[in-house]
Structure 1
């Protein structure tokens, strides 16, 4: 009879908001800790994915402002990753299609015309800052954090 060279571990799993996958208790606790800061939440791919899914499940009809700001934030992050790519009016239009406010569109268009990547990046960071503030002010983020807390409370001790 073969002996096992590893110890059996019990891993507690929790259903995702949508019921589509399981998460470890540790992962849920980690994400809950991140929700103390919208900034930290948005920097974490898994936490952002969970926030997006949470908002999608609660939606009835069109996307609300918080969802639009989340999409704009993520698109800006994508543009910031592509440092070698030329930033054009097409990218500004893409952000506008997602719901970019007019004042931020005008600012980014001016920066785009300068052709200075650093200036364009500063504009994208400015947009992300506005998006973070709007997401933080939304009831969606508070309710997301509360839902995670409630999920943790249901874990058997």
Structure 2
């Protein structure tokens, strides 16, 4: 009985503003709600990917600072998930290649010399906080949020 009612439902899809995929109205609304908080946006994989795609499409030339901060944030997230792995200078170099600011590189290098994973994780969390603040302060994030809102308005008409 439940399957027959399911068949009768129509799912409205909205073409993502960047053209990358079709999204349901509910998914667009969910991501728009997340954009009330940069932190919530960055914690959600789908919203973070959408932000990444938006930034890529609106880039002219090299990655801008916001894209670099997003890359560094994501790499730190990856390192934080790999708790058993030894953290070395190679990981710091990788973060630097992505755009890690010098002061944060120095802090993380100092913490790495200590060798304690809790200290390294605190450094990675500190880097993520700085990245989040920079993304939040940027006009790019506000433009991303406005693009989602505009897409919602067009899609629900």
> In the superposition, relative to structure 1, how do residues 104 and 13 fare at CA in structure 2: closer, same or farther (>3 Å)?
same
SS at match of 2:14: strand
For structure 1, which runs of at least 5 residues remain unmatched after alignment?
none
- Equivalent residue for 2:141? 141
Higher RCO structure (Cα 8 Å, ≥6 apart): 2
- Equivalent residue for 1:106? 106
Between Structure 1 and Structure 2, which shows a larger proportion of helix residues?
2
> In the superposition, relative to structure 1, how do residues 10 and 59 fare at CA in structure 2: closer, same or farther (>3 Å)?
same
CA distance in 1, matches of 2:44, 2:13: 20
SS at match of 1:80: helix
> Under a length normalisation based on structure 1, what TM-score does the superposition of the two structures give?
0.96
> Under a length normalisation based on structure 2, what TM-score does the superposition of the two structures give?
0.96
SS at match of 2:83: coil
- Equivalent residue for 1:66? 66
CA distance in 2, matches of 1:48, 1:109: 27
Check if 1:48 corresponds to 2:48. yes
Paired residues in the alignment total: 155
SS at match of 2:85: coil
For structure 2, which runs of at least 5 residues remain unmatched after alignment?
none
CA distance in 1, matches of 2:127, 2:2: 54
